[in-house]
Amino acid sequence: MKNKGIYLDYAATTPVSERVFLAMEPYFSKEFANPSSLHIPGQRAQAALDEARQQVADILGASWKEIIFTASATESINLAIRGTIKATPIVPPGGTIPVLRHSERPKVIPHIVTTNIEHSAVLNTCHDLEKEGIEVTYLLVDKEGLITAKQVKDALRENTVLVSIGYVNNEIGTIQPISDIANIIRDIRNYKHEVRNSKQIQNSKSKIQNKNISDFGFRSSDLESGYPLFHTDAVQAANYLDINVQNLGVDMMTLSGHKIYGPKGVGVLYKKDSVILKPIIIGGGQERELRAGTENIPAIVGFAEALKETEEAKKKEMARLQKLRDFFIDESLKHAKNIILNGSREYRVANNASFCFEGKKTETLIPRLDAAGIYVSGGSACASRTLEASHVIEAIGKKKHAKSAVRFTLGRATTKKDIEKAIDIVIKLTV
């Protein structure tokens, strides 16, 4: 940073790394052609796009066909959620009415399962869909901000088309059991498949949830064995955790460029080849007809390079930051008065330390930290400009303290000295 402050807001955004910057540079002015153009420069741009897509696919354990570039994680999330709803094949018994048509309300309404601590990109999309009649279950997290795979299982209904659970919470750093949830969802789908194949469905009760299929107005043919789909928002996980989609077992996964030392304005949605989505941005046929608009080649090339660099640095950086984070948390809890750690100690991402400062307000703490040269966020960076209480802190049962949260997030440039200074300031703030 220009002024000699200590930046501890890496969950809000990261700087573009030198290596990423250099990889992007040729694609602004020199290699600027549109990849859809048939001429030679256009073909070079297409080749750069193809290479970036393959690179991302290789890192995620996916096929190039399964990588969709978007303009942000927010857009990827919207595509995953709205695109699933738009493509939902469930129709009312005997009918062919598209699910979202208001005038002819379908009897079977798609249902989504998510949690009450998701990023606003997920939560507000779900709230918006509720206005259109879509059903949403918001799973309640425990005091540490965790949910269990069993909670997901218990929330599933016959009409559940999508489960969307964030891998790492952006405010309190909690890591959710993504592969356990994926296993449960896979079992349910296999069960549905078996039931469908053996034609034992007529007049029989569904064992899933002990709910009668007729409760939902389904016919046996409506029981789609490919549902529910499982999407995870892995934006805050990518720097430190396994994001191989085979290991995780997810159907869709969202990533963001600017959280992995890449550029802003680029996101990825991994979508398993078998998953059917409908586009939400309509126009040209880019991204296999799933996301219209001329591809942002510099940003896409930057994303691929950033993901590669992050993957290479992951193991070492995770171990380094975990140590610094634990030092920060332990020393702060030991010496500062009336602060509470938010989130889990065990299931916590390597770079997050979030505290509530009892009796203090985020809006006064941030300027004081700023004055001391420590740059942080309240709950999430997106909500920093509002004085609203953090929905995440409320959800973990700290309603009283929901306006006193401060999030410190560490990154590549963070040193032990920075953390020592931060601890010192945290202690001073509480005396």
For residue 137, what are its two tokens?
């279950």
Least distance to ligand PLP, CB of residue 204, Å: 41
Catalytic residue among 63, 382, 412, 420: 382
Cβ nearer to ligand PLP, comparing 92 with 262: 262
Cβ nearer to ligand PLP, comparing 172 with 201: 172
Least distance to ligand PLP, CB of residue 60, Å: 17
Cβ nearer to ligand PLP, comparing 219 with 412: 412
Query: Which residue type occupies 331?
Result: E
CA angle 346-349-351, nearest 5°?
125
Helix (H), strand (E) at residue 123? helix 120-131
- The residue within the footprint of ligand PLP, chosen from 382, 391, 412, 421 (CB under 6 A), is 382
What lies within 8 Å, CB to CB, of 50 at 6+ separation is 64
Q: 287: alpha, beta or left, given left = phi > 0 and alpha = psi -120 to 50?
A: left
- Binding flag, residue 379, ligand PLP (CB under 6 A): no
Cβ nearer to ligand PLP, comparing 75 with 418: 75
For residue 124, what are its two tokens?
């507000």
- DSSP for 211-222? --GGGGT--GGG
User: Taking a C-beta distance cutoff of 8 angstroms, is the pair 198, 182 a contact?
Assistant: no
* Contact set for ligand PLP, span 134-193 (CB under 6 A): 166, 170
Rounded Cα distance between 92 and 115, Å, is 27
382 catalytic residue (yes or no): yes
* Contact set for ligand PLP, span 242-301 (CB under 6 A): 256, 267
Least distance to ligand PLP, CB of residue 418, Å: 22
- Binding flag, residue 74, ligand PLP (CB under 6 A): yes
* Contact set for ligand PLP, span 96-135 (CB under 6 A): 119, 121
Q: Which residues of 233-253 are buried (b: 16+ CB within 10 A; e: fewer)?
A: bbbbbbbbbebebeebbbbbb
Size of the site for ligand PLP (CB under 6 A): 14
Least distance to ligand PLP, CB of residue 171, Å: 9
The residue behind tokens 């509480």 is 430
Rounded Cα distance between 417 and 406, Å, is 20
- The residue within the footprint of ligand PLP, chosen from 55, 84, 151, 236 (CB under 6 A), is 236
Just list the catalytic residues: 382
Residues that bind ligand PLP (CB under 6 A): 72-74, 119, 121, 166, 170, 233, 235-236, 256, 267, 381-382
